[in-house]
Structure 1
Amino acid sequence: MIYFQEGNLIIRPMKKSDKKEFVHAFNEQGWQKPLELFEDYLNQQSNKELEVIVAEINNQVSGYVTLLGNTNIGPFASKGIPEIVDLNVLIKYQKNGIGNKMMDVAENLAKEKCDAVSLAVGLHYGYGSAQRMYVKRGYIPEGSGVWYRGEQLEQYSKCENDDDLTLYFLKRF
């Protein structure tokens, strides 16, 4: 199955051979993404718990994003609103619209299930490009404030500005 194809860019579901390719590609750029992560994603995709959307250019993986049909954490837990999670484009392929194309596919798949889609984005500067992209795509903060390690952060609570400090967004179709 192919979700999208244009020139040398193909967006499709994850396949078994992608696991090792992603681990190698992320290691090359200094990011640690364990094989177990991709094995879990593939198993969850097989069990219809999530969809793993993979971008490839010239037969090389270039990025991925996952779409959960229903999340167990955050403000939309168990409400049946799909959640876009873990959008990654390899550094050498960034700034070419691949993230936006994968988001198009994820949103179209979400539309088949619900009239909205959610996501959480980190708050430190490393997520700056993603934050801007989500706002440009019509995502708005859902209003529950900041979340930390899967829990709503109370006012004046201490936290660390790491990958677990997030803000949830919602996009209605």
Structure 2
Amino acid sequence: MSDKIILRDLNEYDWDVIEESFRREGWQKDLESYKQYFDYMKQGICSIIIAQWLEDFAGVLVINWQSEYENFKEREIPEISDIRVVHKFMRSSVYDELMDEAEKRIFQKKDTAGIGISLAAEYSQTHILCIKRGYIPDGTGIYKQNKQLQLGQQIIFDEKLKMYMIKNCDKKIAYKKGAIRKLENIYYDIYKGKL
């Protein structure tokens, strides 16, 4: 971990800083969700990890221990349900530090971590980062608001259209050591349409 980055659980004293940061980043509409997450955190339903870069709020990640997504719920797979990194820290290691911490917590309790990622173009970098970390599609297709889409179904394409991915704990360290580099390259080629 970078000595500039501090990771910790959210507390009630963080709200002023989070509200200001969310407004600056254009995330205002999501503040109510985070207040609800905070209530869930107190009940043990989720964990909220804050990243600070020195004194600045740099990012936040939510682990939902009881996913609403059917496949994860049935298999008791915790879901990384929200991750945000402040724009000015996007090129730093904040994203990886948050993901490392989330996976460490998940793999202490479960064998598999899950994540749902929007298919909107704005999230394409997240797809690549997750593939590089060893996540693969869970094989259930595309979902919108936790409902599986059927072939030929007409929908409005927005950020709620998601693909869910999983990572097994035997890959939790491997991606750093290059042990699954070949697998990463195959999935990357599939993603880019080369295979």
Q: TM-score, normalised by structure 1?
A: 0.92
Provide the alpha-carbon RMSD of the alignment.
1.4
Pick aligned residue for 2:64 from 63, 68, 84 = 68
CA contact (8 A) 1:72 1:78 kept: no
Q: Kindly provide the amino acid, as one letter, of the partner of residue 30 in structure 1.
A: G
Unpaired segments ≥5 residues, structure 2: 170-195
Question: What's 1:132 paired with?
Answer: 128
Question: What's 1:23 paired with?
Answer: 19
Question: What's 1:123 paired with?
Answer: 119
Question: What's 2:168 paired with?
Answer: 172
Pairing of 1:82-161 with structure 2 (within 5 A):
82-161=78-157
The CA distance in 2 between the partners of 1:30 and 1:71, in whole Å, is 26
Cα drift, residue 160 of structure 1: 2.0
Pick aligned residue for 1:7 from 3, 7, 19 = 3
The CA distance in 1 between the partners of 2:32 and 2:124, in whole Å, is 28
Cα drift, residue 146 of structure 1: 0.5
Find the structure with the greater CA-based Rg: 2
The CA distance in 1 between the partners of 2:31 and 2:119, in whole Å, is 26
Cα drift, residue 159 of structure 1: 1.5
Unpaired segments ≥5 residues, structure 1: none
Cα drift, residue 75 of structure 1: 2.0
The CA distance in 2 between the partners of 1:35 and 1:115, in whole Å, is 31
Question: What's 2:173 paired with?
Answer: none
CA contact (8 A) 1:84 1:118 kept: yes
Aligned length: 169
Higher helix share: 2
Aligned identity (percent) is: 26
The CA distance in 1 between the partners of 2:166 and 2:112, in whole Å, is 7
Q: TM-score, normalised by structure 2?
A: 0.82
The CA distance in 2 between the partners of 1:120 and 1:127, in whole Å, is 11
Cα drift, residue 34 of structure 1: 4.5
Cα shift readout 1:100-155 (whole Å, capped 9, x = no counterpart): 11000000100011110111100011001111100000000011100012100011
The CA distance in 2 between the partners of 1:36 and 1:29, in whole Å, is 15
The CA distance in 1 between the partners of 2:22 and 2:67, in whole Å, is 26
The CA distance in 1 between the partners of 2:110 and 2:90, in whole Å, is 29
Cα drift, residue 172 of structure 1: 0.5
